[in-house]
Amino acid sequence: MRQSLAVTAALAITATAQSASSLTYWYPGAANNPSLYSKYNSMYGEATTFPPVASIITSNAATTVFALGCPAPTGTPSSIFNGEKYETCTFWASDGATYSIISSTRHVMHRSYEVNQYSMWWTCDYDAIATSMSCDMEVSGNVNDNTGGPVRGAIWPKEPDRLGNVMAFATAELVTTGRFGEDPEGGSSSRTSVENGTNAYDFIVIGGGTAGLAVASRISVGLPNSTVLVIEAGPDGRQEPGIYIPGRKGSTLGGKYDWNLTTVPQPHANNRTFAQNRGKVLGGSSALNLMTWDRTSIAELDAWEKLGNRGWNWKSLYPAMLKAETFMPSPEYGVEGVGKTGPIQTLISRIFPKHQSSWIPTLNILGLATNRESLDGHPVGVSTQPNNVNPNYTRSYAPEYLKLTKNNLILKLETRVAKINFKGKVATGVTLEDGTTIMAHSEVILSAGSFQTPGLLELSGIGNKTLLKSLGIPVVKNLPTVGENFSDHIRIQSSYQLKPEYPSFDVLKNTTRAAIELAAYNAGQVSLYDYTASGYAYFPWDIVSNDTAARFRKLVQDDTTLTSAVDKIKKNYLSPPQSLTVPQLEVIFSDGYTGLKGYPAANSSLFGIGTFSLIGVVQHPLSKGNVHINSRNISDKPTINPNYLSHPYDLQAAAELAKFLRRIASTEPLRNVWTDEYEPGKTIQTDEDWQKYALANTLSIYHPIGTAALLPEKDGGVVDSNLKVYGIQRLRVVDASIIPLLPSAHIQTLVYGIAERAAEMIIEEYR
């Protein structure tokens, strides 16, 4: 939670400034004005005035660590301030206080308190013309707001002493131009914040999303002498209830935290356009997703190496995925397949709708065994799955990684990268949308996601030369498969009206009940707002029927157009023995309404009914699409063409799966909890009806992959086994766009694993 404060400061102190080569202390200008800062008994138990001196301890490209001097009769005499004595301030010493220059007018000061595990940030914008400084203070972690206990965030009253800390440092930096980066001994540090007028860092990570924050944070810790800049187009949404409250999942889709992308009309799907929701916020799509925490099969990750990607297999990716998570033990889950020490917290919900008790027994009746350790590489079965939720029932997502970081990681929010810069075929940095250039001494890491990553490559001159030349973009590397190989899971859904004795999540559509549940949630009590879907099933076509499995196997095996290495692997998934261990289908039990028909309107007689939904997902569709830029303007949205349902298998699979959803719902004991099929409805009966329903109602489940594929270049790859772009030095891609083959799982655990694996490679290379 933030509180905005504004102060005015006189910044003219040049008369007291010494030369950059000899200055050991910084004179903090207006902070030396006694009228601006009074003594106070601080929360730390010490009485002091604001310290007027600051000694530099360490410095690099963007961050300086200070030891601050507080007035003390027994301290060391100052060589600058007429022999006055100062000693190092107890709580603002070199073990945690940092001052970072984000730009010439934007500054951040941060102090992390390890004992109580909380942090304070002051982000200040300096108006040189008005000689004023506007500061936002943000507090996170286990802080106390003086009302009796820990809170998620705190609103603090005006505290000029604290605000003065930021003002003074910003003042000092501005009046000692070129001083930043000097060490106290009079020499120069290995990096300065300004090189020929250009900001510079060791690593620049484009995209502060799922992969971007994970890889950046690990580099920050693993290479503590480096500087890492993360550039994120969206804002910080950590205090947004629509993000952090699990029960409000989905409420941010299509809003200000979403890129709000859509496909072009899809000719094989009734010419419909499809939403492509992706997070434009700190944390990226991990801030918007529905918090499913599952894992693909061993065979599917081993297939990556068989495709020519040395070292990419279950053996390497499984521990990387576990490294991301900490699972809270539950009687609903076994012990294998979960992590114990990672930043992302996972658990099984403490709240289940009463009718969900019918879920697992129903699938057992249909021939699917219960799987109590579904994340260990053997996902086939019906399960109660974890979700990425903190023990205090807030969303646990990519920003959790920031708690691991050192002071060498800088966030630059609400900022877009216009292009990556090159010297020959070596990445040298980035140019922002406003024209600012930032240098990268070591690497540029592209983590902008499956839609933005190929677009930035193309805008920077890497892609199909025909497209680039048509847009007037100089070609750096002709790589025609940039933006190609797009693949995505497709879903189909059905909904059922519950009997009155089975209340559902839909009761939150009643504003009075919603307010009661929200109050309970905010008080830390069990609430419907805790709820996240936890009933999942993964299975082969044989569970539907042996005849259906044989029919689809023949359809795919007879298709002579499926000739790529990836297509051949997908073909094998439909045949034994792999068809027994690699799921082709997923069904999610979701309490409440999900679908295209829409929940009954407020003036409808059905308004207020309780429902549950079954969401079916085809795991290995055969349609392939592409994503490309259509202009040189970074603000123009990309052209997204997934070619949904263009392969006959995909449409037939969606129709057959929709039919099977009805069969699941119509099997006891689940059949006993509902009265009517709300969607699709009883009019859908014949195979032709089901196919028409699939054409009109199939949707994306928002798992786009493959647009900068990890494959040999000859097979359509964009990055090699080190995630380096072919033919380019010092440029890697670390996000879902590198995934060469859709997994039989939601993709977030895999994306975290990719980031962890990439960080290991980078740290090893630069250590």
The tens digit of pLDDT for each residue in 587-640 reads 999 999 998 899 999 999 999 999 999 999 999 999 999 999 999 999 999 999
Q: pTM of this prediction?
A: 0.77
Three-class DSSP category at 569: helix
% helix, strand, coil for the chain, step of 5: 25, 25, 45
Assess whether 34 and 76 both reside in one domain.
yes
Domain count, the chain: 3
Q: Per the domain annotation, does 731 fall within a domain?
A: yes
The tens digit of pLDDT for each residue in 699-743 reads 999 999 999 999 999 999 999 999 999 999 999 999 999 999 999
CA distance 171 to 282: 29
Q: Per the domain annotation, does 323 fall within a domain?
A: yes
Assess whether 298 and 342 both reside in one domain.
yes
∠ CA 91-95-99, nearest 5°, is 85
Q: Per the domain annotation, does 389 fall within a domain?
A: no
CA atoms within 13 A on the CB side of 741: 29
Assess whether 177 and 216 both reside in one domain.
no
Percent of the chain whose pLDDT exceeds 90: 73
Q: Please say which residue of 128, 161, 194 terminates a domain.
A: 194
Assess whether 430 and 552 both reside in one domain.
no
Mean pLDDT of the chain: 82
Closest-CA residue to 389 (of 508, 243, 284, 518): 243
Q: What is the DSSP letter of 265?
A: P
Assess whether 431 and 562 both reside in one domain.
no
Q: Please say which residue of 194, 228, 246 terminates a domain.
A: 194
The tens digit of pLDDT for each residue in 593-605 reads 998 899 999 999 9
Quote the crossing angle between the two packed helices 748-766 and 210-222, to the nearest 10°: 30
Average pLDDT, stretch 323-350? 96
Q: Residue 63: is its pLDDT beyond 70?
A: no
Closest-CA residue to 279 (of 397, 444, 412): 397
Q: Please say which residue of 177, 194, 211 terminates a domain.
A: 194
Assess whether 432 and 578 both reside in one domain.
no
CB atoms within 10 A of CB 607: 13
Provide the CATH number for the domain around residue 494.
3.30.410.40
Tokens 């057992």 belong to which residue? Answer: 364
Decide: 254 and 275 in contact? Cβ < 8 Å.
yes
Torsion angle in degrees (nearest 10) through CA of 568, 311, 339, 351: -20
Closest-CA residue to 589 (of 501, 699, 674, 684): 674
Q: Per the domain annotation, does 433 fall within a domain?
A: yes
| Residue ranges making up the domain that contains 610 | 361-384+490-618+646-697
Provide the CATH number for the domain around residue 262.
3.50.50.60
Assess whether 467 and 585 both reside in one domain.
no
The H or E element containing residue 132 is strand 132-141
Q: Residue 80: is its pLDDT beyond 90?
A: no
Torsion angle in degrees (nearest 10) through CA of 36, 41, 46, 49: 10
Decide: 697 and 680 in contact? Cβ < 8 Å.
yes
Assess whether 249 and 172 both reside in one domain.
no
Tokens 């970074």 belong to which residue? Answer: 634
Percent of the chain whose pLDDT exceeds 70: 74
First to last CA, the chain: 37
Rg of the chain, C-alpha, whole Å:
28
Assess whether 408 and 519 both reside in one domain.
no
Assess whether 480 and 610 both reside in one domain.
no
Assess whether 187 and 240 both reside in one domain.
no
Q: Per the domain annotation, does 624 fall within a domain?
A: no
Q: Per the domain annotation, does 675 fall within a domain?
A: yes
Helix H, strand E, coil C: the string for 358-397 is: HHHHHHHHCCCCECCCCCCCCCCEEEECCECECCCCCECC
Quote the crossing angle between the two packed helices 314-322 and 298-306, to the nearest 10°: 130
Q: Per the domain annotation, does 641 fall within a domain?
A: no
Regarding predicted confidence, which is higher, 67 or 162? 67
Assess whether 293 and 339 both reside in one domain.
yes
Q: Per the domain annotation, does 354 fall within a domain?
A: no
